[in-house]
A and B are shown apart, each in its own frame.
Chain A
Amino acid sequence: MLTLENLSRRFGENTAVARANLEIPDGQMVGIIGRSGAGKSTLLRLLNRLTDPSEGKIVFAGSDIAQLKGRELREWRSDCAMIFQQFNLVGRLDVITNVLTGRLYTMPAWRSMTQVFTPRERAFAIQALDRLGMAHTALQRAETLSGGQQQRVAIARALAQEPKIFLADEPIASLDPMNAKVVMDALRSINQQDGKTVICNLHTLDTARNYCDRIIGMSAGKIVFDGTPDLLTTSMAREIYGAEAEDFNEGSTSTALPETEAVAAVKEAAAHV
């Protein structure tokens, strides 16, 4: 159970997250939706402490994450993997080393600073890559891969951490619809097969509806909606995405492909690869 109590973050005058209260039970798949600037990214970065909270508590397994420092903070980060919109891989390192960085927390300093990895660690990393269908790229430089491939490597890195929670900050916002589906399916499988909590920022409503057990809507730093997808009415969505959108409909936030003959053919081909 991950609990947020009055969690806030201010940047100067601007309040990015205002007094957020949430309870997320283990094993849930949560989608956070909202316009850009609504505070979704800040909320996620607060959770694994890439950004420090201004006030409030984050409680997990009885300890206040917001107060952690040093080794305990690094332990929390390794327990709480982050998947970024821009992948944040090290472009000039090969794919396998990028995935192996997911093991850094568990390695003694002398091995991490000399980049000595054990055969077990390598095997673990390759298995993580294989699960995402990326094992064949292990010795390529990460920057030579396409965006969708890089995001899959980033998910493999997160898997290598063996975390308790997966955070994904707009994981599909830089991807084309086909790659977006591959990435969302991978996150869904992590949630369902491994039983891990997945918290995912999304800016398209249909993706959130299709993949998540629970949807949280944010607007101007506040949590304005929290419930199952079927509770999210069009008028509620209009409030989340801003009232000025008079002719709002769900399709306008969508990046999914309409089911045409060509799309069906592409999907068919992709399924056989």
Chain B
Amino acid sequence: MSDIPMMGSSAAASNTAHSDAVSAFERHRVELRASKRSWTIFALIVFAICLGLSIWISNFYPERLANGVPRIFEYFGTIIPELQWNMLFEGRDADERAVPGSITYWYTDFWTYATLIWETILMAMTATLIGAGMAFVLSFPAANNLAPNSWIYWISRRFLEICRGIPEILLALVFVFMIGIGPLAGVLAIAIHTAGALGKLFAEVNENASSRPVDGITAVGGTWPEKMLYGVVPQVAPNFFSYAMLRFEINVRASSIIGFVGAGGIGQELNRVISFYSDDRVLAVLILVVLTVTVIDLISERIRHRFIGRENL
């Protein structure tokens, strides 16, 4: 039927041809595995050395850890509120005073905390919007398949690296000195870090975008911004959205500690109660922070999954 040698062909010539191909393949496979094995062994040795060094430098010894564990509980002892079961839900008395041992007494400053947590969430939102906006604009020149020339590519890449290379808390310190204590300093600090981190992710998404639509827009006589807007953005928008939401979750956590240096939000209050009182107020704030972060995470995860799910239909 055909002159192509097939499995089970009775011709002796084609059988030797087969065994040649098989032995060549086996030889090649053994070589490949051997070279892979020596690489694995090398990597393991390097890893072991690094692990040993880091244990030595950080004094990560079990007995130190064992000695430290009780002290954690000591600290928790000082910040646990003295609640009494029979008074737990007592309201304020006739003189507007809360009864010691009640939740009302423990959370006397609840509305201060709530206001500050709201401020924290708003800070995270604003910072994410500003940062994502900067990242969006910079992600096109920072993608090596889209950048109009290598100069612009190099500059935008380095700029994004600087933005995400400086820790938020350091940026916040600088801004507090510049424009004073308050949430604006925190928003700016987080926005800049967000621009750097998201910009890199966005640029990587852009690098995976198909060049065909871009070619199409080039061929109709589109300018560079038109190529990006019509050829690339429709492809990458769902991924951009998903990454920005993820970043929002991260920024809620970031803006709740950035207040430690006076940059607004609940962190400022947390710092105050830790430094001045170190009593049950610390735990009161901590519980609210953890609750907020968890709830925001859950909501944003829902939105992201729903969005991705709809996209894949």
Contacts and interface: CB of A to CB of B under 8 A. Distances in A.
Interface in B180-235: 212-213, 215-223, 225-226, 229-231, 234-235
B234 A92 contact: yes
Contact of A84 (B216, B223, B230, B237): B216
Given A81-B220, A104-B221, A92 B212 contact: no
A69 to B, nearest CB: 13
A163 B218 CA distance: 14
Nearest to B231: A90
Contacts of A113: 225-226, 229
A104 B222 contact: yes
A29 to B, nearest CB: 20
A75 B212 contact: no
Interface string A1-39: 000000000000000000000000000000000000000
Given A90-B230, A112-B226, A113-B225, A104 B220 contact: yes
A145 B223 CA distance: 27
Interface in A95-148: 97, 101-102, 104-105, 109, 112-113, 115
Interface centre among A91, A102, A104 (most CB of B within 10 A): A104
A90 B226 CA distance: 13
Nearest to B215: A88
A104 B226 contact: yes
A82 B235 CA distance: 21
B235 A104 contact: no
Interface in A140-194: 154, 157, 161
Contacts of B220: 77-78, 81, 101-102, 104-105, 157, 161
B212 A86 contact: yes
B221 A88 contact: no
A107 to B, nearest CB: 9
Given A78-B220, A88-B219, A113-B226, 20 more contacts: A50-B219, A77-B219, A81-B220, A84-B212, A84-B215, A84-B219, A88-B215, A88-B216, A89-B213, A90-B213, A90-B217, A90-B230, A101-B217, A101-B220, A104-B221, A104-B222, A104-B223, A105-B222, A109-B223, A161-B221
Chain B, interface residues (CB within 8 Å), range: 10 to 19
Interface of A: 48, 50, 74-78, 81-82, 84, 86-93, 97, 101-102, 104-105, 109, 112-113, 115, 154, 157, 161
Contacts, number: 80
Contacts of B237: 92
Given A74-B223, A104-B221, A105-B221, A92 B216 contact: no
Contacts of A90: 213, 216-217, 230-231, 234-235
Nearest to B217: A101
14 contacts: A74-B222, A76-B221, A84-B216, A90-B216, A90-B230, A90-B234, A90-B235, A104-B220, A105-B222, A112-B223, A112-B229, A113-B226, A115-B229, A157-B216
List the 5 closest pairs (A to B, CB-CB), nearest first. A78-B221, A88-B216, A105-B221, A82-B219, A77-B221
Nearest to B311: A92
A88 B214 CA distance: 8
A89 B234 CA distance: 11
Given A104-B230, A112-B226, A50 B221 contact: no
Contacts of A93: 230, 234
B226 A88 contact: no
A163 to B, nearest CB: 9
Contacts of A50: 215, 218-219
Nearest to B216: A88
A48 B217 contact: no
A89 B222 CA distance: 14
Contacts of A89: 213, 216
A104 B219 CA distance: 11
Contacts of A92: 234-235, 237
Contacts of A109: 223, 225
A81 to B, nearest CB: 7
A194 B170 CA distance: 66
A135 B294 CA distance: 49
A81 B221 CA distance: 9
Contact of A75 (B221, B225, B230, B234): B221
A153 to B, nearest CB: 11
Contacts of B223: 74, 104, 109, 112
